[in-house]
Amino acid sequence: MAEMVTLKINQKIVEVPAGTLIVEAARKAGINIPVFCYHPKMEPVGMCRMCLVEVGYPQKDRTTGDLVKNEDGTTKIVFAPKLETGCTTPVVDGMEVKTNSEKANEAHKSILEFLLTSHPLDCPICDKGGECALQDLTMAHGPGTSRFIYEDKKHLAKQFPLGELILLDRERCIQCGLCVRFQHEVVDDPVLNFYQRGRSLEIQTHSQPGFDSIFSGNTTDICPVGALTTIDFRFGARPWEMERSASICAHCTVGCNMVYNIRREAKTDGKTLIKRAMPRQNELVNELWLCDKGRLGYHYVESPQRLTQPLLRKDDKLVPASWEEAYQQVEDKLRAEKLRLVTLAGGRLTNEDLYNFQQLNHSQEGKAVLYSQMAGGDLTAQIGLGKGSNFSDMGKGTTILVVASDLHEEAPLWWLRVKQAADRGANLIVANARKTRLDKYASHIIRYEYGQEASTIYALLDGKGNEEIEQASQAFAKAENGVVIYGSDGLGLVGSDSLVKACAKILYERGFYGKPNNGLLAVWDKPNMQGAWDMGFHPDRTLKGTLREADVAFIAAADPAGDNPVLKQALEETNFVVVFEMFMTETAKLADVVFPVQAQIEREGTYTSGERRVQWFGNVIPVLKGPKPDFEIAAQIGRLMGLATEGRSPLLVMNKINEKVKGYEEITYTRLNEHVDQWPLISRTDSYYAGTSYENEFGIGIQLATSADRGEELSLGTLILVEPQQEVATGMKVVPVTALYDRGQLLQPSQILDLRLAPQVLTMQPALAEKYHLQDGDPIKLQVAGSEIVSRVRLDEEAPQDVALISRSNGVPISSPVFVQIQRLVLEPEA
C-alpha cells in the first residue's frame, strides 16, 4: 500500500499516494490546473510553464527537524517566493497549494498571452476549434486582447507534410513537445525531433518515409492545438457537428476501443459519413491509443464496390435477385435429402452471426469450420489469460514469452503493452526465426529455424539446449507469473497446432494458469477468432477435401478461393455454394448465391478479443441500403427451415448465447455497456489534457473466465511433441509472415495508406538468392500447387537462412509454409 499524503489545494483537503504530482492530486480533487505539455502517460517536463501555482511547504526547524507551529497551533507554511510548476512537483504531507490566487492567475494569463503572440488566428478554419486546449484555456484564464504588434508575427509553413499522413502547421505549434515525447517515450519510434532554437524551435522528421511510425496518428490526438492533423480528417468537420459512436477495431485481435465520428451531409444527398476514427479510453486494452491501421482503415465501408443486392447464378452468370428469391433457392437446396453441409466462417463475424450460423449448421448436421490457419482456441478457452489480467499490472515477477509472433505487425497495441511491461521489469523472452521489433526489449532472445517452433518450446520446458535456452528456461521457471503469447509467424495450421500444444504444456507444467496475468494468449489474425472458437467453429486440416465433398457450402467472411488456388479448385467441385460477403471476392465469383452483408461498422454486435474480453460495438452509421447483417440472414434461413432462430436484434441473440454457450453466462448487452470510471481522467467536457478527448462513456468489455479460472477440470489433450514429418520437397521454402499494412479486403479501399503498404516481394537472404541466381529486384515466377504467381525479389541481410518470406494478404496466395519452384521471370520486351 502506498503511503498516503494529505495536503490542501485551494483550501480543499486532498489525500493522495505519496509521489503524486500536484496536477494529478488537483485533478483527483476536481480542480483543474491548466496544462499544455503535461500528459499523464508521459514523464513531465515543465516546459510550457502553464501550470505555475503557488506552493507552500510546512516549515521545519533546521536543527531539530520538527515542524514549526503558528501561534494557533497550526503548522507554519512557507510559500516559495517563485511559483512552481504543478506538473513536476510531487506532493508533500502538509503542503498547501494555491492554483487561483492573484499570483497564479497572473501567471496563467501571462503564459497564454505569450503563446498567443505568434499563434495565428486560425480558429475559423482550424480543425481543432471546438476541442482545442488553447481555446478553452484562453477563455478560462487568458487575456482578451493582444498587445503584440501584428506585423511582427512570425510567418511559417502552414501545411508541412511530416510524411504523407500527418500535416504540421508550424504557426500553430506551441512547442509543447508532446508529439516528440510520445514518439520517443511511449512508442520508442524517435522519428520526430526538435530542431533549431528559440522562437525558431520546430518539429522535424528525418525518417524515410516521413514520420515513419505506425502510431503516428496518436500525435494528432494529443496535440493541444491544431498543429498536427491527419490528412484523413483535415478540414473534415467541426467537432460539435459530429456524433460519437462506439466501436471496436476490426483489424486485429486486440480489439482496440474506438469511436467513429459521423456527420450527416447535404453534399452527399443526406448520407451520413464517417469523418474520422479516434481512440476510446480503455486502460485494460488500448489505454488511449490506436495504431494507424485502425485509425485510417475504415474507408472500405463506403467503397462503391460494396455488394448491395443478393445475386443468383443463372445460366452460369451471377445476376441480381430479390431477397425472397435468394432465400427460396437456399431453402430448396437445404431441403434436399442426404445433404452434406459445410459452414465455413471467418473471424470477422460477430458472436451473434456465428451463433446463428452454428444453430443453422447444427440443425442440418453440418460441419462447422473456422477459416483459419491458427490452432488453439480450445486451449485458450481453458488456460487462456486469466480473468482480471491486465498488461498494465505486469512488471517485475512476470515472464512473458512471445513465440512465433511479430507483434509490431500482428497486434501493434500488444507490442506496445508488452514493451511497457518489459520496461517495468517484466522478463521478456522473444523466440522467433527472425529479428522483430520486440527483440530490443527482450531479456532473452531465442532463434530457431522455421519448423522448430514447438521443439523450441519443449526445450525451454526441459531447460536443455544452448545457453540462451537454458537461461530463458530458468527465467521462466523462476517467475511468479507467466504468459505465453503465440502468433503465426511462418506458420500454417499444422505448425500452429504443434506450437500451441507446446505452449499449453509449458504453462501447465509451471502452473501459470487460472489466475490473473497468467496464461495462454493467441495473436489471432482476425478480430473475433476467439469468439468463433467459442461458438463451436474449428479449423479443418483437410479443408480442401471437406469443400470438395460438400453438397452445400455456406461461406461467410472468408475468401478461400482468393487465398489459395487449391481451395479454389476444391470449391469449383462443391455443388452449391452460398456466400455471405461485402465485396465481390474470388469466392463470391464461384458462388451460386451471394448475400450482401453489412460491415462491422454498420451494425451492432460483439467481438471476443484475443485476451478473451467480450466487447460491444454499436452501429456507427445508418445502414447502407441493401446489405443485411449476417446474423439476420442466417436467422431467416433458419426460420425457413423451421428453427426458432433469433433475427430481430443482436441483443436478443446474445441473450441466447448467454444461456447456451459455456463461458458467456455473464454477458449481456446491459452489462457490456456499464460505464466504468477510469484513471487518468481524460474527459471530453474540459479538454483538460491536451486537445481531443478519449472519453469512454460506453463500457470497457467483460473478460471471460477460462475453464481454469472456474476451477473446472481441464482436458488439454495429449501434449507431446510430434516431430514434424521430414519435408521431402524440392524448390525454395517459403513461409508466410504478417504485415500490418497489407492488401486485405478491409484495408485496401483506404487509399490513404497506399504508400505504406508492404511491398509485394519475396524476401530472402542474399546467399539464398545467389543459389537461384537471383538479384535484388528481379521479377520472378513461383509455381505453387499448380498455379503460377508473379512477384519480385527483395534481398535482406537479416532474413533467416534458407527460407524466403512472403507477406500474407498481399497478392501472393501463400498462407502456410510451402516449397515453391522459383524462376527468374524474363519479361518480354514491349512490341
Where does 485-574 have alpha helices with state H? 493-510, 529-534, 543-549, 560-563, 565-572
Chosen residue from 102, 152, 315, 316 binding other proteins by CB under 8 A: 152
Q: Which stretch binds other proteins (CB under 8 A): 44-52, 569-577, 663-671, 797-805?
A: 44-52
| 65, 124, 144, 198: which one binds other proteins (CB under 8 A) | 198
Q: By C-alpha distance, which of 353, 352, 426, 346 is closest to 389?
A: 426
Establish if 191 lies at the interface with other proteins (CB under 8 A): no
Residue 141 CB, shortest distance to other proteins, in Å, is 13
Residue 437: how many CB atoms within 10 A of its CB?
Answer: 17
Structural contact between residues 356 and 650, judged by C-beta atoms closer than 8 angstroms: no
Grid coordinates given for 692? 481531443
Backbone angles phi, psi at 195, to 5 degrees: -145, 150
Q: Is 174 in the site for other proteins (CB under 8 A)?
A: yes
For other proteins, which stretch binds (CB under 8 A), given 105-113, 289-297, 361-369, 768-776?
A: 105-113
Cα angle value 17/19/22 (rounded, 5°): 90
Question: In the range 359-418, which residues lie near other proteins by CB under 8 A?
Answer: none
Beta strands in 190-348 (DSSP E): 192-195, 202-205, 228-230, 243-248, 257-264, 272-279, 311-314, 317-320, 341-345
Residue 51 in the binding site for other proteins (CB under 8 A): no
Q: Is 288 in the site for other proteins (CB under 8 A)?
A: no
Question: Least distance to other proteins from the beta carbon of 47, Å?
Answer: 5
The beta-strand segments (E) located in 323-392 are: 341-345, 367-370
Torsion of CA 558, 560, 561, 563, to 10 degrees: 100
Residue from 37, 235, 218 nearest 122 by CA: 235
> Nearer Cβ to other proteins, position 174 or 375?
174
Query: Could you say whether residue 156 binds other proteins (CB under 8 A)?
Result: no
CB 631 within 8 A of CB 352: yes
d(CA 598, CA 619): 10
Which of residues 48 and 752 has its CB atom nearest to other proteins in the complex? 48
Binding to other proteins by residue 201, rule CB under 8 A? Answer: yes
- CB nearer to other proteins: give 75 or 88: 88
Q: Which one of residues 61, 70, 121, 154 is an interface residue with other proteins (CB under 8 A)?
A: 154
Q: Which is nearer to other proteins, 147 or 317 (CB)?
A: 147
Among residues 6, 70, 193, 268, which is the contact residue for other proteins, using CB under 8 A?
Answer: 193
Do the beta carbons of residue 52 and residue 89 sit within 8 Å?
A: no
Within 10 angstroms of residue 248's Cβ, the number of other Cβ atoms is: 29
Which of 14, 26, 50, 529 contacts other proteins by CB under 8 A? 50
Of 196, 725, 726, 730, the one binding other proteins (CB under 8 A) is: 196
- Told to check if 47 binds other proteins by CB under 8 A, we report yes
For position 575 contacting other proteins by CB under 8 A, the verdict is no
Q: Which residues pair with 67 in a beta bridge?
A: 60
Q: How far apart are alpha carbons 263 and 722 in whole angstroms?
A: 56
Give the nearest distance from C-beta 683 to other proteins in angstroms: 25
Would you count residue 101 as binding other proteins (CB under 8 A)? no
Question: Contact at 8 Å (CB) between 142 and 2?
Answer: no
Nearer to other proteins, 199 or 478 (CB): 199
Q: Which stretch binds other proteins (CB under 8 A): 8-16, 40-48, 239-247, 386-394?
A: 40-48
Mark the segment that binds other proteins (CB under 8 A) among 143-151, 233-241, 253-261, 752-760: 143-151
Question: Which range touches other proteins (CB under 8 A), out of 104-112, 284-292, 321-329, 356-364?
Answer: 104-112
- By the rule CB under 8 A, 148 interacts with other proteins: yes
Residue with Cβ nearer other proteins (46 or 320):
46
Q: Shortest approach of other proteins to residue 110 CB, angstroms?
A: 5
Distance in Å, CB of 381 to other proteins, minimum: 46
From the CB of 225, what's the least distance to other proteins, in Å? 13
Helix (H, G, I), strand (E, B), or coil: what is residue 75? Answer: strand
Q: Residue 16, CB half-sphere, CA atoms under 13 Å: how many?
A: 24
Least separation in angstroms between residue 146's CB and other proteins is: 11
- Angle made by CA atoms 439, 442, 448, in degrees to the nearest 5: 60
Question: Interface with other proteins includes 175 (CB under 8 A)?
Answer: yes
The residue among 119 and 276 lying less far from other proteins, judged by its C-beta, is 119
Would the CA dihedral through 194, 196, 201, 203 be positive or negative?
Answer: negative
CA torsion through residues 320, 325, 326, 329, sign: negative
Alpha-helix runs per DSSP H in 550-647: 560-563, 565-572, 586-589, 630-640
Instruction: Return the residue of 62, 82, 155, 773 that touches other proteins, per CB under 8 A.
Output: 82
**Quick one: 152 or 723, whose CB is closer to other proteins?**
152
Do residues 488 and 404 touch, judged by C-beta distance below 8 A? yes
Rounded least distance, CB 21 to other proteins, Å: 12
Rounded least distance, CB 61 to other proteins, Å: 21
CA end-to-end distance (rounded Å), the chain: 79
Distance of alpha carbon 352 from alpha carbon 357, whole angstroms: 9
Question: Residues 8, 28, 41, 46: which binds other proteins (CB under 8 A)?
Answer: 46
Q: How far is the CB of 114 from other proteins (least distance, A)?
A: 4
Alpha-carbon dihedral 243, 246, 251, 253, rounded to 10 degrees: 170
Cell readout for 504 is: 499449453
Give helix 650-660 / helix 630-640 axis angle, nearest 10°. 70
Decide if residue 49 touches other proteins (CB under 8 A): yes
Contact residue for other proteins among 59, 75, 100, 117 (CB under 8 A):
117
Look-up of cell digits 503548522: 75
The residue range among 53-61, 146-154, 295-303, 349-357 that interacts with other proteins, by the rule CB under 8 A, is 146-154
Q: Is 200 in the site for other proteins (CB under 8 A)?
A: yes
Please identify, among the stretches 192-200, 325-333, 458-466, 625-633, the one whose residues bind other proteins according to the rule CB under 8 A. 192-200
Question: Could you tell me the smallest distance in angstroms from the CB atom of residue 90 to other proteins?
Answer: 10
Residue 498's Cα: distance from chain center in Å? 27
Interacting positions 290-329 with other proteins (CB under 8 A): none
**CA distances for 768 relative to 43, 733, 773, 793, 796, angstroms:** 46, 10, 9, 11, 10
Question: In whole angstroms, how close is the CB of 28 to other proteins at the nearest point?
Answer: 23
Nearer to other proteins by C-beta: 82 or 317? 82
Minimal distance, residue 423 CB to other proteins, in Å = 16
- Binding residues for other proteins, rule: CB under 8 A, are 44-50, 52, 81-83, 88, 107, 110-111, 113-115, 117-118, 147-149, 152, 154, 174-175, 193-194, 196-201
